[in-house]
Amino acid sequence: MFCASLALSQSNIPIAPNLTNKDKNPNKIFPVTVEYPHQNTRVAPGAKGIFLFGKVHAGGGYLTINGVEVPIYRTGTWITYLPVEAGNNDFIIEFTDDEKTHRYKRTVFVRGFNYKKHIGKPSFDTSSLFPSADAELSTEDILDFTVAGTPDMTVRISAGDYFQDILMTPSQEEKGIYKKTISFNNIPGFGKQTKITYSMYDADGKLKAKETSLGKIKVLSPQKALKTAKVINQDTRLRPAPQPHGHILDTKLFGKVLITGRINNLYRVKLDDNISGWIEKRSLQPDDSLSAPNNIAWEISAEPQENKTIFTIKNTERVPFKVEDLRDSFNVTLYYTRSLDTMMSDSEDELLSGFDYEIISDSTKKIKAKYKDGKRLWGYTYRYQNNNLIFELFHEPKFDFTEEKPLNGLKVVLDPGHSPKRTIPYDGAVGPSGLLEYEANYSIAKAAKEHLEKLGAIVYMSKEEKQYMPLGRRTELIKKNNADIFISIHNNALPDYIDPFARERGSSIFYYYPHSLPFAEAMQSSFIKNVGLPTEGIIQADFSVTRSSPQVPSLLIENVYMMIPYQEELLKQERFINILGATITEGIINFVNPTWNIQQRHSIMDMPKD
């Protein structure tokens, strides 16, 4: 009776309100709000816990979630981290103030395998069966097979004529997970399509469950697996594994490529005997009539121009390439290139001292454009014009800085991250009290703009506070205004399943292109000196805005973690916003004008002092 009553009472508990409810009812008082997770949030597979945060209306009171006491900050905000398991997880929020106890519910769904639901009923998790789509493999392949199902059973895997009844090994780390690494070398035959069969047996050897994969596999000889394909989406990047996330940095696909297999609707691209990656099926068009890519780089030159050097590689065809943006040279690796057909002459201009080259393999060549001592690359662009691969290598600008105006004439693009959207899902992060990231980002950008302009900089804002701006347009002002640097301003949050209490959290500086690393180092020094919060360091990351701005030093700054109550509260204080604006300004000074009189920095920038 008690369990039935409890289930019935829980079904009548209202969903916990949040910012959207407050916006719709501005005059209504909500005793407690939960700003994250949103109702029916889907959490990544394998999560063992999830954070929840929000605010209570009264400054005091007693808050529990699923019976666990949650401390309340003096501002009424709160954050906690509670265990979850695969499937639906209900959180019962109870807040007791001076008048009564208020009860709400918030439900999240954790994707993945819950072995407890399979105990007593031998079965497989059908979503874990490989392959889910038809796959083509090579006899050179070695694959890791993984399947989920009832724990403490015997599981065997079969694949038609390829292999039969291979025993899978139970995982020591995850209950109900079975694994096996299988080599397709020396298989009895190849070229046939077949499905994978997974069989489950009890301790007596009796078959209890059997499932067959949705997709089929075909194993081909290396010669038959190798095919030529046209790159449909030029300038596409490779993925390091056959998964729909992650990219290999600085490798660009053009023209034609060689493919050697297909898994999870991704093709495996072979650039060299030792270099391969994966690309979405929609980005390639296999064509048996195409000849294999076979390039000759027949001329390499450098043309000095005002503020830049035009570095050109003339080819017989377009081929994929990789860029290495190093501190002492700009390196380009050409794939499917059998020769460099001309002797390269040294170049003499403001940036480059000459060329060198390296033969990586019969089909891969590397060209090195060496910088003069003391010179650094400011940024670059690239394009194919016919078959000519053209790089614009931008020199470090010459500025008219003065003692009174230490940033005189510097053109800065500030990008307040995210756009206004006050319904779920928000565009960006949210804090426990309901502060949205676009609001905080714009406040910081505006403060930085005021400091920068006072020191002589010319500042362009990518958007206004309540203006929607898609990612693809945020870097347009760099080219339009011939800007010198770009900064995207953000405030951080964590993935759902990360424990926010595992370590101290604070600012992070992100860059993509290596020529932006000195800028990141200069900016981090300013944050360490001025902000007084932990720093999480400098991180190379694949963010769209920094990846889309190779022509200038560009950063993405995560100022604080707005999901942490005391850090969100700082973002609501004008003094702290001013500190962040001044800190970003000093980070720019550290990079472009590091010798400027350090004694004047506080007074001219109006940096608040403790």
CA 386-390-393 angle, 5° bins: 165
Q: What confidence category does residue 340 fall into, taking pLDDT thresholds of 50, 70 and 90?
A: confident
Instruction: Give dist(CA 52, CA 80) in Å, integer.
Output: 5
Whether 279 and 189 map to the same domain: the answer is no
Nearest CA to 248 out of 229, 266, 228 is that of 266
pLDDT for 5: 40
Q: How confident is the model at residue 115 (pLDDT cuts 50, 70, 90)?
A: confident
Q: Judge residue 598's burial from the number of C-beta atoms within 10 Å of its C-beta, 0-12 exposed, 13-18 middle, 19 or more buried.
A: exposed
Q: Is there a domain that residue 152 lies in?
A: yes
Q: What residues contact residue 476 under an 8 Å CB cut-off, 6+ apart? A: 462
Does residue 62 sit in the same domain as residue 185? no
pLDDT bucket at 46, cuts 50 / 70 / 90: confident
* 399, part of any domain: no
Give CA–CA dist 23/214, Å, rounded: 46
Are residue 215 and residue 233 in the same domain, yes or no?
no
Q: Which of 605, 576, 575 is nearest to 588 (CA)?
A: 605
- For the segment 50-73, the average pLDDT, to the nearest whole number, is 93
In a domain, 400, yes or no: no
Distances (CA, A) of 316 to 213, 385, 601: 45, 12, 55
CA distance 268 to 560: 39
Instruction: State the DSSP code for 607.
Output: -
How does pLDDT run across 396-429, given as a tens digit for each residue?
A: 999 999 999 999 999 999 999 999 999 999 999 9
Please report which confidence band the pLDDT of residue 346 belongs to, taking 50, 70 and 90 as the band edges: low
Residue 27 lies in a domain: yes
Same domain, 452 and 579: yes
- Please give the pLDDT value at position 603: 56
Domain boundary among 207, 222, 237: 222
Cα distance between the two ends of the chain: 62
* Residue in this structure with the two tokens 């015997």, named with its chain if needed: 154
- CA gap 401, 382 in Å, rounded: 30
Q: What CATH number is given to the structural domain containing 33? A: 2.60.40.10
Which CATH number goes with the domain that contains 443? 3.40.630.40
Q: Given pLDDT bands bounded at 50, 70 and 90, which one contains residue 606?
A: low
- What's the 3-state SS for 48-93? CEEEEEEEECCCCCEEEECCEECCCCCCCEEEEEEECCCEEEEEEE
Residues 315-327 have pLDDT tens digits of: 999 999 999 999 9
Same domain, 441 and 491: yes
Backbone angles phi, psi at 606, to 5 degrees: 55, 40
Helix and strand element counts for the chain (H, E): 10, 37
Mean pLDDT is lowest, of 183-187, 267-271, 365-369, for 183-187
CA–CA separation, 511 and 485 (whole Å): 12
Coil, helix or strand for 484? coil
Query: Is residue 2 scored above 60 in pLDDT?
Result: no
| Per-residue confidence (pLDDT) for residue 298, from 0 to 100 | 93
> Residue 186's pLDDT is what?
75
Provide the pLDDT for residue 610: 44
Task: Read off the pTM.
Answer: 0.92
pLDDT in tens, 222-250: 888 899 999 999 999 999 998 888 898 88
Residues 355 and 418 occupy one common structural domain? no
State which residues form the domain around 189.
Answer: 116-222
Is the pLDDT assigned to residue 372 strictly greater than 50?
yes
Within-domain flag for 402: no
Q: Give me the mean pLDDT over the 435-459 stretch.
A: 97
Q: What is the CATH number of the domain that holds 331?
A: 2.60.40.3500
Least confident of 40-44, 430-434, 464-468, 508-512: 464-468
Residue bearing the bigger pLDDT, 217 or 604:
217
How far is 213 from 524, CA to CA, in rounded Å? 50
- Domain tally, the chain: 5
pLDDT band at 3 (very low <50, low <70, confident <90, very high): very low
Strand positions, DSSP E, 404-498: 411-416, 458-461, 485-492
Same domain for 586 and 445, yes or no, is yes
Q: Is there a single domain that holds both residue 456 and residue 521?
A: yes
Same domain, 533 and 482: yes
Predicted local distance difference test score (pLDDT) of residue 224: 87
Average pLDDT over residues 558-587: 97
Last residue of a domain, one of 222, 241, 273: 222
Look at residue 610 and tell me if it is in a domain. Answer: no
Q: Which helix (H) or strand (E) holds 450?
A: helix 437-454
Give tens-digit pLDDT for 460-485.
999 998 899 888 899 999 999 999 99
| Pair of tokens at residue 321 | 């390439």
Q: What is the mean pLDDT of the chain?
A: 92
Residue 388: per-residue pLDDT: 97
256 inside domain: yes
Percent of the chain with pLDDT over 70: 94
* Structural domain includes residue 2: no
Give which of 490, 511, 520, 531 is closest to 588, Cα–Cα: 520
Q: At what angle do helices 437-454 and 574-592 cross, to 10 degrees?
A: 50
* The pairing of beta strand 87-96 with beta strand 101-110: antiparallel
Question: Hunting for tokens 């097979």 — which residue is that?
Answer: 145
Looking at 350, 367, 394, which one is the last position of a domain? Answer: 394
Shared-domain flag, residues 583 and 456:
yes
Give the count of alpha carbons within 13 A of 247, CB side only: 18
Residues 58 and 128 in one domain: no
Rounded to an integer, what distance in angstroms lies between the CA atom of residue 349 and that of residue 308? Answer: 9
Residue-wise pLDDT for 496-529, tens only, equals 999 999 999 999 999 999 999 999 999 999 999 9
pLDDT at 4 over 50: no
pLDDT at 188: 65
428 and 572 part of one domain: yes
Inter-residue contact 150 to 209 (CB < 8 Å): yes
Q: Looking at residue 567, what is its pLDDT?
A: 97
Q: Work out the percent of the chain whose per-residue pLDDT is above 90.
A: 80
